[in-house]
Structure 1
């Protein structure tokens, strides 16, 4: 729950900044990470899908052009990895995450900051719900 709160606070704003500040190379990098996510997911390689998911979100932080955002997230890297590994292991969650990721990418690509923030907010809401529904014991 706490990790999701921090992610929501930081990543929603970062997504808006990424939409405003992104360059073509950022879009290519984001698209590459989503391709890697899809390939790993299709192969059932949960570790590789988790890594691609984390790198997609890291690429958004980088596209924001605010160096403090990535450094704020660094101490959370182990918790982020462990949480993602659990969620990525559930096929339905991967499918929902994929949908949200493409919505986020499209908004950033179109430089639509509000839509990007809304897409990330929706992704964070779905992630929190998925954790509560599928992984809380």
Structure 2
């Protein structure tokens, strides 16, 4: 059994092996071999609900769980998961990339100063009057990021 039951971001005990089986199946169906390190990182990513995380945050979580994995491996794995369609990349800040475990079509709030990304419920935003794509191209996706900051008193 994988140790993937969490409370306040901390491990509290094992979860049934069905999680491991599901993760392995999802990886194989996405064309990835379920290596030990991929499984460990997938467990951190996908068993804690929908999340928006950076490579550094996942690396810190792995270290807290006593998993031996380099930051370069975390970056490589996150990009492999993205290419396989398991994650979505959010380029919100120029110096930081967020990875979204929710790959459905949805938009985001970004709380400036906190670096916090929140989902905007689907159907809340309508994007109209998009420009025509250049010849030979098509619009693949439109990402809307609404930036927030605390109100001034």
Query: So what's the TM-score if we normalise by structure 1?
Result: 0.25
**Whose relative contact order is higher, 1 or 2, with alpha carbons under 8 Å and at least 6 apart?**
1
- Higher helix share goes to which structure? 1
- Higher strand share goes to which structure? 2
Which structure: larger Rg?
2
